[in-house]
Every structure is written in structure tokens, then in C-alpha cells.
Chains A and B, each alone.
Chain A
């Protein structure tokens, strides 16, 4: 049964040092508030899984939470590279970072296999692609019916998945709207799931085919308005594109990065997110 609790308590209870953790959200609904709480609680040695590590993993990697990253596109979307991730990979700062790199198709299939309780995902992929040479977790299988050679990757089964969603009802059923990404699969593939939401409502008012996670699939729900900022929540506030542009400069320098993280993450609480989206609310 799902528990409504503070984000501090939910992270403390569900994210342990050494865990394999997915913070999912495909550009939309990225769970920044949950990631910042993990940073404040100083988790270490995590294997971080995410299709598009984005600024959220740049921050976590830069603050030393991760030992390994499983991913398929490590860029600042529309802006450039992830400078903290690069510093970890190229210079070992603050720690070295092991990479397991896939394509989007592989990651999406691997989450789906995890949700489906399968040991691996099979798909028509990686043909001619060199990732298959450098990633030992990309293998080939032969279709027993047609003889076609297909790619296989292990299912993703996180210890814990964090997502952000628009709303939950009072029972804890969760509605995800807009670009739904891989969140449903990432939650169903995980042992535990923590969902931050914009608000709790009496009735989700969802038509029968909408993306709803029943309350018994979710471990904890935390109400954190603005919790996806600088990503966005469809119908609540827009994406803070200027933040993404500015991040490129903040992350370019280790000292500037650390002092920014001190001011905007370490010295803050989840309640800070609400104020950060006030101007962006006007745009939707």
C-alpha cells in the first residue's frame, strides 16, 4: 500500500547506498526534487539508470553519488554536453564513473522487459553499431522460428525508481499525462517506487485509457509542487529552457558548480521548488 510522506522520509526509507536507482522522465516530468533530496542525504555508490541523464544526473554525478551510469544519451538537450559527467569520465572528478551505454531503443525495451518480468529484452537493434563492441551487455540471439539474428540486452530491474507526476488521488493512484516517456515501465520494473506529485485531488478525472499507476504499485507519494523544475509538468508549468542554457556555464567550472549546489540544493528543502516555477506557471 502506498504511503503519503515527506520527500525526506521517502528518500531515507527507499534509497540506500549502493542501490540501482532510476530517476525517469523523458525531458518532461524529470524528478529533480527527489534527486536533490538524494544529494542532501549524501547517498553514495549508486548505479544511476536513465535514458537521458540530463542536468539531473550531471548534478548527482558531480556531487559524487554515482559509481556507475546506465544511459543512452548523455547530453544537455538542445544545449550541448554534460560537463560534470564528462569531468567524471575524463578526469575522475570527484570520482571515476563507470559507463554502460545503450541506444534509446535498447533502454526502452529493457525497461519494458523489466516491467514484464522477463530476464532480457529482444529487439531488432544495434545493427552495424559499434556500441555492441564496447558494451558486454549487448548480445545477439537467434529467433527460433525464422532464424533472424536479433539484439538482446538485460532487463532493467531498479531497486528503486523515482518519478514525478501531475497528480494523485487520496488513495494514491497516480496520473501521468503528456509525454509519458518510460515512467510506467520504470515503476513496474522496480522493487520500490517513489512518486512526487504536483497535487492531491479527490478525483483523477481520467478517462479509461489514460496512463494511471494504481496505488498498490507505488511505495511512497510525496507532494512537491514544482518538483520537476527545470523540467516541466504538462498543464502546470513550462520547461525552464533558460536554466538549461545557463547550466552549461554553471557546470563548466568545478568551484562554481559546488557553490551553486550549496546555495540551490544543499541549503534548501523541497519546498523551494514551488517558488521556482511561479513565473513558468503563467505560460500554460
Chain B
């Protein structure tokens, strides 16, 4: 095993990047998914098609965008279409193989809440909302989710069903007339999870290096199910780690370069 030191965050991004294939057409959510998708593109999946909801198809940014509509995405895209076209022809039309989402709140069946903490009408915390996610979750061929584990984030019951995963589990998607696979993988900073074939409950199938079962349970709000013999996630390779770190360094430099210019001259 390599002596290389890496953070749980880096392990998460790299494990998530490995899930993507060269021929995937991936609708990329902002934040953690964006880093994973671009590491995949810069390592083992150079021909992957990355799509952002701002309309950029086949984008290959050299730095990670701060928003889903940074100019970098358009500059490096094969083509840029309007937002209605993006959602109608490309997502609803069934052209997207993977939807890659982050989550504020997640339950064991891959249902995602990014809308409110508390009651919808009188929320304790008003979150940004769904954006593209409700339809990415139902219309992509399958869905990968990536998030850092925490008791607050991975909860027994989510406060709001922003994006439907497997609902109450089992064949709930099918009963609602949703014919796509839904969440098929969850990549956290501690483990890789896949839904049980029958119940659709997320089950730990691979544990990241240096992580214990107790760690995984301690940062998860439901009682964790483990596969009979969970694998151990391979640690990041030198190439994966250097690719991710270079990408982050370029991104940091680029975002700091635009110093605030709105301090008007008096």
C-alpha cells in the first residue's frame, strides 16, 4: 500500500471519479460532483461527456467552476444550448446516462432534500431549493450521489422530498411511473454504498482505507447496513491525487485572481 497521505475529502472525490466511465454522458451537479467528474475526465475517462445545466455540452474546464454557468464551461464546451433545450431535449429526451448530485439531507433510500430544514411554510432554515435536481433525479439513466457523512446530513427522515430517490424503498419508483434506475451509488468520505437489490436501502459495499465500521455509523443518522464482506476502497493513486490537487490549486488561483472591483472610487 502507498505511503501517500490523503484526506477523507480527497478519497471521496477520487472514489466518486472512479465510478464514471469514458462513454458516460454525465449531468453534473454543482460542488462535490463537479470535482469528481473532472478528475475522471483528466484521468481514466478522457472522452466522458460532461453536461452542466447552464446548457454546456461536452465541457472540459481547466479550473472548476464556482457556479454552473461560469464562462470557462462555455469556452471549453463542444456546444452550448439554451436552458429550455437542455432540459427538454437532452435530459427529458433520455440522453443523459448519469446524473451526479450532491445533497444537504439524504435518507437511506437516496431521497434528497435541498429545500428546507423544518416545515416548508415556516422553515427553520430555507435552503436554495431543487434547481435542476428533481428532474435530473427522475430522468437520468441512473443517479450517483456524493456527500460528506454527518448526523445532520444523513438522517432517518428527510424534511422535504426535493428529489425522489427510491421513496419508501422496493418498487416505489416503478409505482410512480418512473422508469429510470434512480440512485445506484452513494460515495461519501468514508465509504461506497449501493442500494440493496430488493429493499433499495443503501448498503456499505466498500470502506475507505483507515476507516472503521464505527466511524461510518457514528456519522450516519440511521442504522447502517453493511454488505456481507465489504471491500476496501483502493487508496488514491499518485496520478489521481496529483490530478485532483492540481485542479484544486488552479481553481483557487483563478477564483482569487478576480479581486473585488466593486469598491467604487469615491
Contact A242 B260 (CB under 8 A): yes
Q: A60–B92 Cα gap in the complex (Å)?
A: 33
Contact A81 B55 (CB under 8 A): no
Interface residues on B, range: 35 or more
Please, which residues of chain B bring their CB within 8 A of the CB of A51?
A: 83
Q: Is B22 in contact with chain A by the CB < 8 A criterion? A: no
Cβ-defined partner of B132 (8 Å) among A105, A182, A245 = A105
Contact A108 B83 (CB under 8 A): yes
Please encode chain A, from 90 to 113, with 1 for each CB lying within 8 Å of some chain B CB and 0 for all others. Answer: 100000000001011100110110
Q: A179–B65 Cα gap in the complex (Å)?
A: 14
Q: A207–B70 Cα gap in the complex (Å)?
A: 24
Contact B30 A129 (CB under 8 A): no
Contact A77 B262 (CB under 8 A): no
Contact A104 B135 (CB under 8 A): yes
Q: A120–B257 Cα gap in the complex (Å)?
A: 44
Looking at the assembled complex, report how far the CB atom of B81 sits from the nearest CB atom of chain A, in whole angstroms.
8
Chain B, residue nearest A151 (CB): B135
Contact B69 A26 (CB under 8 A): yes
Q: Is B13 in contact with chain A by the CB < 8 A criterion? A: no
Contact A130 B161 (CB under 8 A): yes
Please provide the chain B residues from 127 to 156 with a CB less than 8 Å away from any CB of chain A in the complex.
127-135, 138-139
Contact B66 A239 (CB under 8 A): yes
Q: Is A2 in contact with chain B by the CB < 8 A criterion? A: no
Please encode chain B, from 220 to 233, with 1 for each CB lying within 8 Å of some chain A CB and 0 for all others. Answer: 00000000000000
Chain A, residue nearest B56 (CB): A179
Contact B129 A72 (CB under 8 A): yes
Cβ-defined partner of B73 (8 Å) among A89, A90, A179 = A179
Please encode chain B, from 104 to 147, with 1 for each CB lying within 8 Å of some chain A CB and 0 for all others. Answer: 00000000000100001101011111111111001100000000
Please, which residues of chain B bring their CB within 8 A of the CB of A73?
A: 128-132
Contact B129 A74 (CB under 8 A): yes
Contact A28 B91 (CB under 8 A): no
Q: Is A125 in contact with chain B by the CB < 8 A criterion? A: yes
Q: A185–B82 Cα gap in the complex (Å)?
A: 9
Please, which residues of chain B bring their CB within 8 A of the CB of A257?
A: none
What secondary structure prevails in chain B residues at the interface with A?
loop
Q: A51–B69 Cα gap in the complex (Å)?
A: 13
Known contacts A28-B74, A77-B66; A128/B176 CB under 8 A: yes
Known contacts A104-B83, A179-B54, A180-B80; A77/B68 CB under 8 A: yes
Q: Is B240 in contact with chain A by the CB < 8 A criterion? A: no
Please, which residues of chain A bring their CB within 8 A of the CB of B173?
A: 128
Cβ-defined partner of B256 (8 Å) among A234, A242, A279 = A242
Contact B262 A104 (CB under 8 A): no
Known contacts A27-B67, A129-B164; A272/B138 CB under 8 A: no
Q: Is B178 in contact with chain A by the CB < 8 A criterion? A: yes
Q: A130–B120 Cα gap in the complex (Å)?
A: 10
Looking at the assembled complex, report how far the CB atom of A94 sits from the nearest CB atom of chain B, in whole angstroms.
17
For B65, B83, B163, B164, the residue with the greatest tally of chain A CB atoms inside 10 Å of its CB is B83
Q: Is B7 in contact with chain A by the CB < 8 A criterion? A: no
Contact A229 B262 (CB under 8 A): yes
Please, which residues of chain A bring their CB within 8 A of the CB of B178?
A: 127-128
Q: Is B71 in contact with chain A by the CB < 8 A criterion? A: yes
Q: A87–B81 Cα gap in the complex (Å)?
A: 35
Looking at the assembled complex, report how far the CB atom of A59 sits from the nearest CB atom of chain B, in whole angstroms.
12
Please, which residues of chain B bring their CB within 8 A of the CB of A245?
A: 255
Contact B258 A103 (CB under 8 A): no
Please provide the chain A residues from 217 to 271 with a CB less than 8 Å away from any CB of chain B in the complex.
229-230, 232, 234, 238-246, 263-264, 268
Known contacts A26-B54, A238-B258; A128/B167 CB under 8 A: yes
- 5 additional contacts (CB under 8 A) given A103-B130, A128-B161, A280-B261: A128-B172, A131-B130, A178-B71, A238-B71, A263-B264
The 4 lowest CB-CB distance pairs between A and B, nearest first, are A27-B69, A128-B164, A75-B128, A77-B67
**B residues neighboring A (CB under 8 Å):** 30-31, 53-56, 65-71, 73-75, 80-84, 86-88, 91-92, 115, 120-121, 123, 125-135, 138-139, 160-164, 167, 172-173, 176-178, 255-262, 264-265
19 A-B residue pairings within 8 Å (CB atoms): A27-B54, A72-B131, A73-B129, A78-B66, A90-B123, A90-B126, A104-B87, A111-B84, A124-B139, A125-B134, A178-B80, A179-B69, A180-B82, A181-B55, A181-B69, A232-B71, A239-B70, A241-B255, A243-B260
